[in-house]
Amino acid sequence: MSFILMQQEADALLSIEKHYTGTESFTFPSLGGALRIPLHSLAMREEFNLDITRGRIELKKNTFQLRAHRAIVLARIDIGGAPHRNPDGEEMPCPHLHVYREGHGDKWAIPLPNQFSNSTNTWQILHEFMDYCAVITKPIILQELFT
């Protein structure tokens, strides 16, 4: 099933305040691991997933993404991976940010905006990504040694 959002709806979903309402804490995934954290709007009308994925071999390869409606990527940061080629042929080196575009989904990438202060600190980028995605009540994510 394919579900396409209008750009106005995608922008609203990205900017709506999101909250982690559970009590569980999480451990940042080890190499090759992944983590899915459920988030909700304040009125519990909208459900989101914060996904954290680690590369299997490359220690610095990480992906952080926010999904709505189970499968629609609203925003995604790729760190330490290969460059991304946009539909117009422009190549975007890592790290870069994908933001939903109507008719294209998450196929376009841009350089990290200035609000991401340190593109070499994965832990800091994760927290700034949650801020970018309007995650107000953040989950507790424990950082392992060598993460």
Residue-wise pLDDT tens digits, 71-103: 999 999 999 999 999 999 999 999 999 999 999
Q: What is the model's pTM?
A: 0.92
pLDDT of residue 79: 94
**Residue among 36, 40, 5, 35 nearest 19 (CA):** 40
Residues 6+ apart with CB under 8 A from 113: 97, 132
pLDDT of residue 54: 94
pLDDT of residue 2: 57
The region of weakest confidence among 50-54, 57-61, 110-114 is 57-61
Q: What is the mean pLDDT of residues 108-113?
A: 94
Q: Are 4 and 102 in contact (CB under 8 A)?
A: yes
Cα end-to-end distance, the chain, whole Å: 36
Q: Render pLDDT for 15-57 as a digit per residue (tens, 0 to 9).
A: 999 999 999 999 999 999 999 999 999 888 999 999 999 998 8
Residues 6+ apart with CB under 8 A from 67: 48, 49, 51, 73, 74
